[in-house]
A = this chain, B = another copy of it.
Amino acid sequence: MVTEKLVEKIIETKYEDFPEELILHAKKSLLNWLGVTIGAIQHESIDILLEVADELESSSQATILGKNIKKDLLFATLINGTSSHIFDFDDTHLDTIHHPSGPIAPVVFALGETKNLPTKDLLRAFILGCEVELRISNAVYPSHYKLGYHITSSAGVFGAAVAAGILLDLNKEQMTYALGLAGTQSFGLREMFGTMTKPFHPGKAAQNGLLSALLAKKGFTSSKQVLEAKRGFANVLAPQHGLSKVLVNWGEVYELQKNAFKPYACGIVLHPAIDACIELSKYAKPEEVQEIELQVNPYVLELTGKETPETGLEGKFSIYHTGAIAFIDKDASEEQYSDVKVSSPETISLRKKIKPIVDETTSEEKVVAILRKTDGSVYQVKIDHATGSLENPMTQEMLNKKFSKLCKNILTDVQITSTIEAVLDLDKLNSIHAVIDHINHTKVFNN
């Protein structure tokens, strides 16, 4: 029953039903997604995907964002979706550790561009796609995630099918079949974390979801009860689940509004410490530091206890490196996690002075940081809610700056500004071509 009712809700829900702040949050989510996607588009794993697309003689239908080239709809969604998760710097629905935009935005961009659809339809598809994947995530979390599924792809595929289904104007039966096809293609093992295959997951979920909707549109039949059936998604992929969560408070509570953006390019557990070190850097130069004590929950040190990281990626799992670069650079973006930065004498010198202290009474969201200077003076700061948390969200200015930093090697300053403006005005534009044209135009200047 839940699958059938969900389809009814999807089809009933119109753009006009959405509150203003939800539409704004959707646009912020799209901007954040676009930044992390363009930012990683020169990564080796994207080159490999593009080579395979070339080997398949993939047609030119939808833009690879930040590349000024096109591939067919399925490859474009795969590649853009993969790129968005490479830096692990994308958005997070904190309740379920799900990165909602990853599987949905690629479908919205690719179909929006190819079919030249109205932007309000795109926003409706994006919002409802996110809503469906997150509500399904709520229903199977945490048992599904703990068992070993990368929930961003395994639940994301449903959202991708819904977004595509809306943009392809599926009727009730077709949408039901699209969900069936998506659910049977649900996939993604957490074992892949730390390899190129992790970011491949949201891309492939986007692709599988889009394929599901394309097939359903033409009458390909599937199960009508994929979520709740005895051998359906929930019973097979989640040891415990509560499918009532899929529909509860529909239209009143929007899960997408619980979507948080990362200001820093590392795991969220380090974000309070980064805020604290940036704050403390006001009171000393690096060479004046005797010691920076960080009082953290034991779990934080368990995840980020690497004392002598050797690569940028390892730096993301080091509270020592992270504290040092936050203090020196007043930032913790991709740039601060380069291999060069990790090996620089200045960073290494300061990271030896970072002293994490485990404190059972401190929650993971908090940190107390104490700066002791060589001159004997002492400064203390306390962070209760790090920047980027729901209680202390990134401001629009911060989001714009994040986008700018991610894209600066790929887009010109002028085009960065105009792309940001276009995304934030998306509901007032005629089509997504206005956004894509800014991105592609820039490439003409740059390359």
Q: Which residues of A line the B interface, CB within 8 A?
A: 44-45, 48-49, 51-52, 55-59, 61, 72-74, 147-149, 180-181, 183-192, 195-197, 200-201, 204, 211, 214-215, 218-223, 225-226, 229-233, 235-236
A191 close to B52 (CB less than 8 A): no
- Given A48-B219, A56-B59; A191-B229 close (CB under 8 Å): yes
Please name all residues of chain B whose beta carbon is closer than 8 Å to the beta carbon of A230 when the two chains form the complex: 148, 191
Pick the residue among B58, B72, B74, B226 that contacts A189 (CB under 8 A): B226
A301 CB to nearest chain B CB (Å): 21
* Residues A186 and B187 in contact, CB atoms below 8 Å apart: yes
Instruction: Please give, as numbers and ranges, the residues of chain B lying within 8 Å of A183 by CB-CB distance.
Output: 189, 191
Cβ contact of A223, chosen from B56, B186, B191, B236, cutoff 8 A: B191
Taking a contact as CB atoms under 8 Å apart, the answer to whether B73 and A191 are in contact is no
CB of A230 to closest CB in B, whole Å: 7
9 contacts between A and B (CB under 8 A): A48-B218, A56-B59, A57-B59, A147-B231, A180-B192, A184-B197, A184-B201, A191-B230, A200-B220
Give CA–CA (A74, B208) in the complex, Å: 13
CA gap between A225 and B61 in the complex, in Å: 37
Q: What 6 pairs across the A-B complex have the smallest Cβ distances?
A: A148-B231, A57-B59, A148-B236, A197-B222, A191-B231, A191-B229
Q: B184 contacts A196, CB within 8 Å?
A: no
Measured between alpha carbons, how far is A231 from B191 in the docked complex, in Å? 5
Q: A184-B188, A190-B231 are in contact. Are A221 and B195 (CB under 8 A)?
A: yes
A222 CA to B58 CA in the complex, in Å? 24
Contact between A236 and B52 (Cβ–Cβ < 8 Å)? no
Copies of chain A in the complex: 2
How far does the Cβ of A56 sit from chain B's closest Cβ, in whole Å? 5
Nearest neighbor of A55 in chain B, beta-carbon distance: B214
For A222, give its contact among B61, B184, B186, B196 (CB under 8 Å).
Answer: B196
Bound Cα distance from A183 to B44, whole angstroms = 22
Note all chain B residues with C-beta closer than 8 A to A231: 147-148, 189-191
A212 smallest CB distance to B (angstroms): 9
Task: List the B residue with the shortest CB-CB distance to A51.
Answer: B218
Residue of B nearest to A224 (CB): B195
Smallest CB gap from A227: residue in B: B191
* Chain B residues within an 8 Å CB radius of A223: 189, 191-192, 195, 197
A189 and B184: CB pair below 8 A? yes
A189-B236 in contact (CB<8A): yes
Taking CB atoms, residues of chain B closer than 8 Å to A219 are: 44, 48
Q: Is B190 a contact of A187 with CB atoms below 8 Å? A: no
Whole-angstrom distance between the alpha carbons of A184 and B181 in the complex? Answer: 18
Residue pair A221, B197 in contact (C-beta under 8 Å): yes
